[in-house]
Amino acid sequence: MQMKITYFKIRKAVAILFAIAIAVCCAHHGSFQSVAATAMKNTAVQKTAQMPQVYPCGFPVGIYMETEGVMVVTTAQIPTNLETLSSPCEGSLQQGDYITSINGNPVNSKEELVSSVEACAGQPLTLHIVREQESFDISVLPIQDTSGTYRLGVWVKDDVQGIGTLTYISEDGHFGALGHPINDSDTGKRVSVRKGGLYESQIQMIIRGKNGTPGSFCGIICYDTSTFLGNIYENTACGIYGNVSALMKEKLEGATLMQTAHKEEVVCGKALLRCAVNGEPQDYEVEIIKTQPGSTGGFQICVTDKVLLEKTGGIIQGMSGSPLIQNGKMIGAVTHVFVNDPTKGYAIYAEDMLNH
């Protein structure tokens, strides 16, 4: 069964991207891994606090985030005029480190890093490094390459982008999306975000999933002020968060608020998955097959809707963040697919997303 939801139409954009569940960003701890869930007794606990109402979404959005400093992907060797190879940063920098300043001057882009290094005039540079939960300074002496240009011998990146699914928007204009963190595809580590934005996106093609090979969305994004939907401020274990734009608020006019559920209200049985595989969000039938309200994990689902199975093969890359609804309440969002069985997946509780 599929139920059509009245939502705004998403404008056509111009830049083509493959959505690998925010594809370029979630290689290790993101959406699409095999997950072993531990069975637990479902003990109902009465909660008195009222859960908030939100606008459940389920449509794709383009995501662009700039890193806090520049992220180190790997170190490299530099050919020199002495016909030797030199790697100034080897042993000092690690994959996933962030270079946030050079000689006390902030570094927020690859261009700023290159400019500072090239201007060093053969003098050592003091790099401020953020690594996991610690920060420290290191001194590095850039090396001249065969063209006479000073280099650090390090590959870096300063942004990530892709397509994901917007989960909900609160009454006061805050949003939550994905249900899992955005992790860098090269390092597998969570991206430290300086700033970012949501943009309109539209799915153009769907690659069906099959056992052993997750399917994926292929969509288009337009990075333009006229398609800007909101600011991204946080990249957390429970998803990405921020505030929606005036444009998004306009598009919400006429949308209906929905109550969210406590973990203990989620029960095994029928539910609905809201996603936009045909251009606009629709509800598709799923079965909740395991719940774990007392844990920090989520719950398991199985896609049963024949239309969705025919279209996608089940849960596919790019579907992360699709809201799940049961008994008239938003109960959570899709986060993972079981690689060896794409009809099944994992979900995060709405309560955890809201209490991130």
Contact by Cβ (8 Å): 217, 208? no
Report strand pairing: 269-275 vs 282-290.
antiparallel
Tokens found for residue 185? 């595809």
Closest CA to 8 of 64, 63, 61: 61
What does each C-alpha distance from 99 to 112, 117, 175 come to in angstroms? 11, 12, 29
The verdict on whether 180 is a catalytic residue reads yes
The verdict on whether 305 is a catalytic residue reads yes
What does each C-alpha distance from 46 to 264, 315, 327 come to in angstroms? 8, 32, 17
Tokens found for residue 53? 């109402």
Contacts of residue 56, defined as CB under 8 A and 6 or more positions apart, other chains included, come to: 167, 168, 258, 274, 323, 325, 330
Count the alpha carbons within 13 Å of 88 in the hemisphere toward its beta carbon. 24
Query: Which residue in the list 305, 322, 336, 352 is annotated as catalytic?
Result: 305
Which region, left, alpha or beta, applies to residue 313 given φ > 0 means left and ψ of -120 to 50 means alpha? left
Query: Which residue in the list 128, 180, 262, 336 is annotated as catalytic?
Result: 180
Tokens found for residue 300? 């398991």
Query: Which residue in the list 116, 201, 320, 322 is annotated as catalytic?
Result: 320
Any idea which residues carry the catalytic annotation?
180, 305, 320
